[in-house]
Amino acid sequence: MRTDMSQDAIHGRLREMGELWELSLALMGSQTLDGSDLRRPNRHASIIQESIRKILVEEWDPIGIEGIREAIDEYDAYIGPLYRMLVDGGTVDEIKNFLADIERSKINIVTSDETRRHVADDLLRLQAELAGSSSKNK
């Protein structure tokens, strides 16, 4: 089986990942049929989301939303795909390329390679911290 690696196919898959992430966030606020709260077990997911969001807003922020409370979720569509990259062992270069692709194809504002490297380093450091804390909790 061959995977379509065209730019349109990749963008489509990234869009789907973003939509799945948003659906999972919506489901975190749901209740089960017996009325029990689903949010409690997902505290770890909320911490991950907030941590990635913080890095994107404070370190990457190509459109300058930092400090604008109403725009805090502007980059949320990229959290799911970035998280998946981290879980799958993504490299600095893969994360940098992902951010550069977003800048070129969606935002039309390009940050520096140094900025993208710094963001990638921070995300990988976050992934290592989260992996360390989850193994301690087992």
Please give the average per-residue pLDDT across 81-91, as a whole number. 92
Whether the Cβ atoms of residue 63 and residue 109 lie closer than 8 Å to each other: yes
What does the pLDDT read at residue 1?
A: 66
Q: Is the pTM of this model over 0.75?
A: no
Q: How confident is the model at residue 8 (pLDDT cuts 50, 70, 90)?
A: confident
Q: Is the pLDDT score of 40 beyond 60?
A: no
Neighbouring residues of 42: CB distance < 8 A, sequence distance ≥ 6: 28
Q: CA 16, CA 125: separation in Å to the nearest integer?
A: 26
Q: Is the pLDDT score of 36 beyond 60?
A: no
Count other Cβ atoms within 10 Å, centred on residue 17: 19
Phi, psi torsion values for 74, nearest 5 degrees: -55, -35
What does the pLDDT read at residue 14?
A: 76
Q: CA 33, CA 82: separation in Å to the nearest integer?
A: 32
Q: CA 113, CA 30: separation in Å to the nearest integer?
A: 40
Q: Is the pLDDT score of 30 beyond 60?
A: no
Q: Is the pLDDT score of 27 beyond 80?
A: no
Q: Is the pLDDT score of 131 beyond 60?
A: yes
- DSSP lists the bridge partners of residue 31 as 37
Pick the more confident residue, 35 or 110.
110
* Percent of residues, the chain, with pLDDT higher than 70: 80
pLDDT digits (tens, 9 = 90+) for 65-78: 999 989 989 999 99
Q: Is the pLDDT score of 85 beyond 70?
A: yes
Please give the average per-residue pLDDT across 3-23, as a whole number. 77
- Among residues 77, 78, 79, 55, the alpha carbon closest in space to that of 66 is found at 55
- Among residues 109, 8, 99, the alpha carbon closest in space to that of 52 is found at 99
Q: CA 115, CA 11: separation in Å to the nearest integer?
A: 22
